[in-house]
Amino acid sequence: MRFRIQSRASRRELTSSATGTRYTLFVGSGVPNDPLPSVVTGGPDTVTARTFLLDDERGTVTAPDSIGRMNYARVIVFFRNGPLVGCWGLVVIHK
């Protein structure tokens, strides 16, 4: 999937980490005090924050080759550039 990050006010391009933008991918359960927050509870090892590849230079996110027996996997991408913050959600569907 291709993506682009820009400031709403100035329309300044912020996708590349060279502009100061930092990304965090969340795939976890969302359960408080989860001992493995980067792994979907009950999900396969293939669906983690480390298996989704975010390339800020090309503005792409690549999903893992497999999501196991899951019907879908949700990923939330958080981003920050100085005081500017945002997020978007992705859903990978098993076909």
Number of domains in the chain: 1
Beta strands (DSSP E) in 15-69 are 22-26, 53-55, 60-62
Do the domain assignments include residue 12? Answer: no
Q: Are 1 and 60 in contact (CB under 8 A)?
A: yes
The verdict on residue 4 lying in a domain is no
- Would you say residue 6 lies in a domain? no
User: Which residue would you say has higher pLDDT here, 74 or 13?
Assistant: 13
Question: What are the tokens at 43?
Answer: 């999900």
pTM for the model: 0.78
The CA distances from residue 41 to 44, 73, 77, in Å, are: 9, 11, 18
Report pLDDT for 87. Answer: 94
* Three-state secondary structure call for residue 17: helix
Please give the pLDDT value at position 30. Answer: 66
16-68 per-position pLDDT tens digit: 999 999 998 887 666 677 776 666 655 566 777 778 889 999 999 998 888 88
The domain of 53 spans 17-93
Q: Is residue 3 part of a domain?
A: no
63 belongs to a structural domain: yes
Q: Is residue 25 part of a domain?
A: yes
Is residue 11, in this structure, part of any structural domain at all? no
